[in-house]
Amino acid sequence: MKIPGVKLKKLKIINNPKGNIYKYISKKDSIFKKFGEVYFSEIFKGKIKGWNLHKNNTCIICVPSGKVKFVLLSNEKKFFIKEKKMKVILSKKKHIALIIPPNIWFSFTSITKTSLVANFLNNPHSKKEVLKKPTKSKF
């Protein structure tokens, strides 16, 4: 299922014999609006982080290390009531940016022993800006 506003963008990999360069985001990119902050979230296999919903922030997420399964849920009542979900797997090999607009619930888990998730926000993180609900639902 596709959730309105959620996008996937293939990211560029520059091959280099000393180690590849994995592009993430540039001021020139159409997905770049403004810079708030970037943070990295480590996640272990079998653990779930989320559910989170940003009221104002757009999250531009990529996974530079490991393999992570994301589950997204539209906050629109017609989708939320039916519990329709969008699932996306990101990894170093599948170098893609997941763009999550405001008002989308999301959660994630590592498929590998340890993974690292990079999250680019268009505004600095604020506890008042993000909603959280307990992780009870099946992943």
Looking up tokens 């909603």 gives 131
Q: What is the spatial distance between Cα 109 and Cα 125, in angstroms, rounded to a whole number? A: 21
Is the separation of the CB atoms in 88 and 98 below 8 Å? yes
β-sheet bridge partners, residue 39: 119
Q: Tokens 């902050």 sit at which residue? A: 37
- The candidate with the shortest Cα–Cα distance to 70, out of 30, 118, 32, is 118
Residues in Cβ contact with 55 at an 8 Å cutoff, skipping those fewer than 6 apart: 102, 103, 129, 130, 131
Q: Which two tokens stand for residue 23?
A: 């592009």
Distance CA 115, CA 113 (A): 7
Which residue has tokens 């022993």? 113
Question: pLDDT tens per residue, the chain (139 residues)?
Answer: 688 899 999 999 999 999 999 999 998 988 888 999 999 999 999 999 989 999 999 999 999 999 999 999 987 765 554 556 899 999 999 999 999 999 999 999 999 999 999 999 999 989 899 999 876 655 5
Please choose, from the candidates 116, 103, 122, the residue with its C-alpha nearest in 3D space to the C-alpha of residue 6.
103
Where exactly are the structural domains of the chain?
Answer: 7-132
CATH 2.60.40.10 applies to domain 7-132? no
Q: What is the model's pLDDT at position 1? A: 63
Beta bridge partners of 106: 52, 72
CB 127 within 8 A of CB 66: no
